[in-house]
Chain A
Amino acid sequence: GAGVSQTPSNKVTEKGKYVELRCDPISGHTALYWYRQSLGQGPEFLIYFQGTGAADDSGLPNDRFFAVRPEGSVSTLKIQRTERGDSAVYLCASSLESGLADNEQFFGPGTRLTVL
């Protein structure tokens, strides 16, 4: 079946604008994760969902960042009043279920966000 998909693949916006990044997980995967990766760094955890609820949002940098997953499938990461420091690749991953001993996560291709 299809893997994790993310749209758009690239997003260029101006400082202060609002952006939405979308993630379509693998069908049947109940857990969904968002990560952010800056140039030359490893991905950093932002938030994860088990089903519709955000189980852990401890990685969100501040209240400009918000994510939803209203039907337990597609998720949207929302960033308000974007800043240049938000520029990064935003990665989404899904897995069968969080908390499994073999919780293998499958990653999407990412959205490269550039804030001018």
Chain B
Amino acid sequence: SQQGEEDPQALSIQEGENATMNCSYKTSINNLQWYRQNSGRGLVHLILIRSNEREKHSGRLRVTLDTSKKSSSLLITASRAADTASYFCATDEMNLGGKLIFGQGTELSVKP
């Protein structure tokens, strides 16, 4: 069963705009990870945020984590058409050996 829930399920924006995706989860975690997927195939790791971190940046990506609300957000700034993809959050639950529990994903479309 999947733990995470993401919203929105789909997001369409213009190039240059920012895109924000949200993820909620249910249990205690070691970390939360965001992945990107093109065309339903391999997942590309974007960023990992530990449970004791609140915010992390990587290039145009900014991730926040609020463990009290069990939620995370992924912000992509100055979006490009090449950012069009599905984005998934995945939680690494405590004491479960590192298996990831994925949300259903947000499908992002960036129009040129």
Which A positions have Cβ atoms within 8 angstroms of B?
31, 33, 35, 37, 39-45, 48, 50, 55-56, 59, 89, 91, 93, 95, 98-110, 112
- Cβ-closest 4 pairs across A and B: A42-B102, A98-B98, A109-B42, A103-B98
| Alpha-carbon distance between A97 and B65 when the two chains are bound, in angstroms | 24
- The residues of A that contact B43 with a CB separation of less than 8 Å are 43, 91, 93, 107
CB pair A55 B40 closer than 8 Å: no
Which B positions have Cβ atoms within 8 angstroms of A?
1-2, 4, 30-31, 33, 35, 40-45, 48, 50, 88, 90, 92, 96-105
| Alpha-carbon distance between A40 and B107 when the two chains are bound, in angstroms | 9
CB distance from A46 to the nearest CB of B (A): 9
CB pair A110 B103 closer than 8 Å: no
Q: Considering only CB atoms, which chain A residue lies closest to B30 in the complex?
A: A101
CB pair A45 B101 closer than 8 Å: yes
CB distance from B48 to the nearest CB of A (A): 6
In-complex Cβ contact of A56 among B35, B40, B97 (8 A): B97
CB pair B41 A103 closer than 8 Å: no
- The residues of B that contact A109 with a CB separation of less than 8 Å are 41-42
CB distance from A106 to the nearest CB of B (A): 7
User: A42-B4, A42-B88, A42-B105 are contacts. A102–B50 as well, Cβ < 8 Å?
Assistant: yes
New A-B pairs, 16, CB < 8 Å, besides A45-B99, A95-B98, A103-B31: A33-B99, A33-B100, A41-B2, A42-B102, A42-B103, A44-B1, A45-B101, A56-B97, A91-B42, A98-B98, A99-B98, A103-B98, A105-B33, A105-B45, A107-B44, A112-B41
CB distance from A49 to the nearest CB of B (A): 10
| Alpha-carbon distance between A84 and B69 when the two chains are bound, in angstroms | 39
CB pair A108 B100 closer than 8 Å: no
CB pair A56 B96 closer than 8 Å: yes
